[in-house]
Amino acid sequence: MNLTFDHVHKHFGDLPVVDGFTSEIKTGELVALVGPSGCGKSTLLHLAAGLEKPTEGSVQADGRAITGPHPSRTLVFQEHALYPWLTLEDNVALALEFQNTPKKRAREAARDWLARVSLAGFEHYYPHQVSGGMRQRAALARAFVAQPQTMLMDEPFGALDALTRLSLQDVLRQLIAQEKPTVLLVTHDVDEALFLADRIVVFSPRPARVLREFNLAHRAKTHDLSGLAAEKREILRLLGIAVDGSHADADSDSDLALAA
Ligand SMILES: Nc1ncnc2c1ncn2[C@@H]1O[C@H](COP(=O)(O)OP(=O)(O)OP(=O)(O)O)[C@@H](O)[C@H]1O
Ligand SMILES: [Mg+2]
């Protein structure tokens, strides 16, 4: 599914939040949105989800204006992704049952998908009985089970520790390679964007305006980001994080500095 933002402006009352965003996200492309807290990134996802309407301009899916939520476009959040009173299997199956898939088929698909995210054997556990990383694996299974054409991911791994986050990035990358959805990914983690994205859009503080785009489509996807050191420096510089050693926080972790 092609997603098009065409001169999109968004105001909440008098508050300008998005200042003229134009971008075409092609079928199967993963575009990461990076920018300071509060700049308008989640708002852009909500516009693509059809939960908000642009004040000016339009957001289109395959050339048709988005007028409301649709199951072909799934939102994935960092938490509250699973119903605590349902087992992992029921949580995943529910995404299909919402679309009127017969219960038996939904359960089979749920078991398959839980296996694909390495959760075979945990189908009958409740979310509170598994680790945070396992919960987020199940949340990915639930997001993918209905095979949406577009995934709108808002800090999906924000609540995880650094190591678990890396392994979840691997799981996500593998699922994307197999399923080829179009993905808009909001992340505070510059390394995560560099690892996963075909393209990174860096935004200014609110109202969100594009500062720069980085095209990374043709590089090998590896956690060794040494080949992208120049891009990383430039992104951090655009985000106002000192990278030249002249600032007291120059060595601080990028996501910590961004969260401030
Ligand atoms: N429904 C709403 N009504 C009024 N203001 C809103 C609404 N949604 C967002 N905003 C405002 O829009 C601005 C951008 O919010 P948004 O959630 O898009 O930022 P963000 O870039 O996702 O930030 P963060 O990185 O902290 O999640 C904020 O000032 C916020 O208060
Ligand atoms: Mg947000």
Question: Cβ(208)–Cβ(8) under 8 Å?
Answer: no
Whether the CB of 206 sits within 6 Å of ligand 1: yes
Predicted pLDDT of residue 260: 39
Whether the CB of 37 sits within 6 Å of ligand 1: yes
How is residue 218 written in tokens? 């043709």
Whether the CB of 102 sits within 6 Å of ligand 1: no
- pLDDT, tens digit only, all 260 positions of the chain: 999 999 999 999 999 999 999 999 999 999 999 999 999 999 999 999 999 999 999 999 999 999 999 989 999 887 767 999 999 999 999 999 988 899 999 999 999 999 999 999 999 999 999 998 899 999 999 999 999 999 999 999 988 889 989 999 999 999 999 999 999 999 999 999 999 999 999 999 999 999 999 999 888 888 999 899 999 999 999 999 877 765 544 444 444 444 43
Whether the CB of 25 sits within 6 Å of ligand 1: no
> CB atoms < 10 A from the CB of 201, how many?
23
Predicted pLDDT of residue 99: 87
Whether the CB of 17 sits within 6 Å of ligand 1: yes
Domains present along the chain, CATH in parentheses: 3-72+148-259 (3.40.50.300), 80-147 (no CATH)
How is residue 57 written in tokens? 């301009």
Question: Which ligand 1 atom is nearest residue 188's CA?
Answer: 25
Backbone angles phi, psi at 220, to 5 degrees: -70, 140
Tell me which of 10, 21, 33, 39 to substitute to probe ligand 1's pocket, judged by most ligand atoms within 8 Å of the beta carbon.
Answer: 39
d(C-alpha 194, C-alpha 140), whole Å? 20
**How many A from CA of 48 to the centre of ligand 1?**
15
Q: Which ligand is nearest to the CA of 34?
A: 1
Tell me which of 14, 15, 17 to substitute to probe ligand 1's pocket, judged by most ligand atoms within 8 Å of the beta carbon.
Answer: 17
How is residue 108 written in tokens? 């089979």
**How many A from CA of 100 to the centre of ligand 2?**
31
Paired sense of beta strands 150-154 and 182-186, if any = parallel
d(C-alpha 93, C-alpha 17), whole Å? 36
Whether the CB of 12 sits within 6 Å of ligand 1: yes
Write the single-letter amino acid at 22: T
Whether the CB of 38 sits within 6 Å of ligand 1: yes
d(C-alpha 171, C-alpha 195), whole Å? 12
Residue with tokens 């390495």: 118
| Residue located nearest, by CA, to atom 14 of ligand 1 | 40
Whether the CB of 83 sits within 6 Å of ligand 1: no
Whether the CB of 43 sits within 6 Å of ligand 1: yes
Quick one: residue 15, left, alpha or beta (phi over 0 = left, psi -120 to 50 = alpha)?
A: beta
Q: What is the 3-state secondary structure (H, E, C) of the chain?
A: CCEEEEEEEEEECCEEEEEEEEEEECCCCEEEEECCCCCCHHHHHHHHHCCCCCCEEEEEECCEECCCCCCCEEEECCCCCCCCCCCHHHHHHHHHHCCCCCHHHHHHHHHHHHHHCCCCCCCCCCHHHCCHHHHHHHHHHHHHHCCCCEEEEECCCCCCCHHHHHHHHHHHHHHHHHHCCEEEEECCCHHHHHHHCCEEEEECCCCECEEEEEECCCCCCCCCHHHHHHHHHHHHHHCCCCCCCCCCCCCCCHHHHHHC
Q: Which ligand is nearest to the CA of 259?
A: 1
Tell me which of 10, 43, 186 to substitute to probe ligand 1's pocket, judged by most ligand atoms within 8 Å of the beta carbon.
Answer: 43
